[in-house]
Chain A
Amino acid sequence: MKIRTTTSWTRWHTLFAGAALIILSNAIALSGVAVNRSGEPESRSMLRERELVLPYGGDRQAENSGLALRLNWRILDADDEYPDYGYSTYGARPAWLDATRMAALGFHITSGKVTPEAREHFVRQLPRQVLVVLEFEGPAWRQAVERARTSTARHAAAAAANPGSQEFAKKAKASRDGLSLEETHASRLFAIDAGLDAKALRARYPDRSRHLMLRGTVRPTVRQHDEQYRLAGYLSEIIIDQVNVPFALRPLLEPLRDIGRPAPTERTPRYQVQIAIGQRLEPWIESLSAP
């Protein structure tokens, strides 16, 4: 006994439609990769272990045989006492991301005094995708080192002026360790600007080996200092901050994978990575070698 149905869709239709969908989706994704990697990269730089770090170990990594290096970017905070220990990859409030820059990024700013209503209106806005300029081993990093030196000198002087004080001695040691970390281990990759127009940003930062451009997100925030409020921005993330290590380049990193990050006393870097950023501002690793 056969039931008659009006549908003309057969399982062969399902097979062909499904296969076409799989092939088409893969083709679109891979053509995007080809476009990104075509021609001369938008920027290319040789970064070290300080800027591209191995993942932490643990259970999460135990069942993942893939390997990706994390882009370790930082910002120079307006407050020079603000310690970031060289690892500020979980969002930050850079000094340069002020109200004017936020307006240029498309956020609505109420003119006039920063009233509670204006603050409320401003922070209610949602994050936007922007282009972030990352500077490698440039003035921002040198300023961070200079700040660490100044801080070390100040704490050393305070400890010398208070010879019996444990507290001053501890602060002086922490400051010395901070300077050592800054000089030898901390990332030299600083987010220094953001915009919406890639060409305009590249014209402002023409050095393609020092200034990398990547997509990130910015959220509005308010800075408070001495009862004064200022509208500002919070650089929430760099959207692609994990860069997959190609299979052919992995042998150098495999032995280091389970060791973890080097201690401040250890010699660094253990590897250097040539990273390229393509036409669609998506990064990839071109080469990986011992320094």
Chain B
Amino acid sequence: MSEHARDLPARRQAQQRADDIRVFQAELARLEAEGILLLDEDKRRTLTAHHESLLAAFTRDYDIDRDSRTRQISLGMRVASFLGALALAASVFFLFYQFWGRFPETMQLAILISSALASLGLTVWLQGRDASGYFSKLAALIAFACFVLNITMIGQIFNITPSDKALLPWAAMAFLLAYACDLRLLLTAGILCVIAFVSARVGTWSGVYWLNAGERPENFFAAAALLLAMPCLTVHRHYPGFAAIYRVFGLLTAFVPMLILGHWGRASYLDLGPELIEGGYQLLGFTGSALAIWIGTRREWPETVNTGMTFFVLFLYTKFYDWWWEVMPKSLFFLVLGLSAVLILLILKQLRGVIGHSEGESLP
């Protein structure tokens, strides 16, 4: 088997092709039943043999899910792999804590570095043999845990001043393993490290101690901009879902600070009255979430639409709470919430109609 034979983009493409074959076969059966398309026996045999040959080869080379039953079992395997990885990563941490004090410092260092290298080697070795990818993903999470433990413990053993710079190698390792093993959980870990590092750096520019940078929510905006730009800067054609994760975390990193500042103006850098700051961020939150819905709809990014919609509703409901919770009877307050949800539904329905119409016109 070549180095590329079990690479993840190819596996995804094989799975996509197998799914397309299944959909094609179902639709062909419908068309034949309705008498619209009837294949002669020779063509049918050739087509069936071709599909069977393709599916057999994909199953052999990439361990794909051939039908809905294997797909369900695969889902269970993914859950088991995720939980197993978390438990094993925790086990690595506790195992080291339980025994590290019994070894001299050089031995502690040797154990930490060799466990990080060995778990990385195991991940790569499994990647070449595990066509399904579940075991290599599990090993990748352990490799990341070993590396985090490695750097953390060196700090503890030698009393090193805690630094935000440790987040950089962690992020690099998380991204490396995430792209190598198509692992979204590690992509999330890498993104969280980047968010923490960038916000800490922005905070330290104004002299603030890096661990306190989170107390100024505006420090997160630079990280949000970086994450939203990432899918544009790099090609994620072979990593379906990765660009969406960048966009979701980019939007979260922008909207959560806006939501906080919209209700706690004192946390802002701006030297203005808290009410003015809160009003400004509420307006920015509404505009930003509406913009996310619009861009998401235009670009067909469902996760962007959903995140924008969630925050638009959150901004709206928190505003309703500020205005009316104290002055309205609760029944009326919840009626207003319900009616506003209906209004949002109507607007979205209208928007869907407009998009459907414009797409219909643009078709050749």
The chain A residues found within 8 Å of chain B, CB to CB, are 1-7, 9-12, 14-15, 17-19, 21-26, 29-30, 32-33, 36, 63-68, 106, 121, 124, 126-129, 215, 217, 239-240, 242-244, 246-248, 250, 280-284
Contacts and interface: CB of A to CB of B under 8 A. Distances in A.
Contact of A63 (B4, B61, B98, B154): B98
A7 B4 CA distance: 9
A66 B156 contact: yes
B119 to A, nearest CB: 10
B238 interface: yes
Given A10-B3, A64-B98, A127 B161 contact: no
Contacts of B61: 1-2
Interface string B1-31: 0011101011101100100000000000000
B208 interface: yes
B101 A64 contact: yes
Nearest to A25: B169
B205 interface: no
Question: Which 10 residue pairs across A and B have the least CB separation, nearest first?
Answer: A65-B101, A1-B57, A3-B10, A10-B3, A14-B180, A25-B169, A126-B208, A66-B101, A247-B104, A18-B120
A65 B97 contact: yes
Contacts of A65: 97-102
B113 A29 contact: no
A190 to B, nearest CB: 21
Nearest to A240: B159
Nearest to B180: A14
A19 B10 CA distance: 25
A260 B107 CA distance: 29
Interface of B is mostly: helix
Most buried by B among A1, A250, A280: A1
Nearest to A62: B98
B309 to A, nearest CB: 34
B16 to A, nearest CB: 10
B161 A18 contact: no
Contact of B209 (A9, A17, A129): A129
A25 B169 CA distance: 7
A7 B328 CA distance: 60
Given A5-B4, A65-B99, A21 B172 contact: yes
Given A22-B113, A65-B97, A282-B158, A2 B150 contact: no
B187 to A, nearest CB: 15
Given A66-B156, A247-B103, A283-B159, A2 B176 contact: no
B270 to A, nearest CB: 11
B9 A5 contact: yes
Interface residues of B, number: 68
Contacts of B116: 22
A246 B106 CA distance: 11
Given A5-B238, A18-B177, A19-B120, A239 B161 contact: yes
A207 B194 CA distance: 43
B127 interface: yes
Interface of A is mostly: mixed
A282 B207 contact: no
Contacts of A250: 101
Contacts of A283: 159
B92 interface: no
Nearest to A281: B161
Nearest to A217: B209
B5 A22 contact: no
Contacts of B156: 66, 68, 242, 244
Interface string B37-73: 0000000000000000110011001100000000000
Given A18-B143, A19-B117, 20 more contacts: A11-B124, A18-B176, A22-B147, A29-B154, A30-B154, A36-B158, A63-B97, A64-B98, A65-B98, A67-B101, A126-B203, A128-B209, A129-B209, A242-B156, A244-B159, A247-B103, A250-B101, A280-B161, A282-B159, A284-B159
Contact of A21 (B105, B176, B203, B213): B176
Contact of B124 (A15, A121, A243): A15
A106 B101 contact: no
A30 B117 CA distance: 17
B94 interface: yes
A239 B161 CA distance: 7
A11 B3 contact: yes
B7 A247 contact: no
Contacts of A4: 10
B238 A18 contact: no
23 contacts: A1-B53, A3-B17, A3-B62, A9-B179, A10-B3, A12-B124, A17-B176, A18-B120, A18-B124, A19-B120, A22-B113, A22-B117, A29-B154, A30-B154, A64-B98, A65-B99, A124-B266, A127-B212, A128-B208, A242-B159, A246-B104, A247-B104, A284-B158
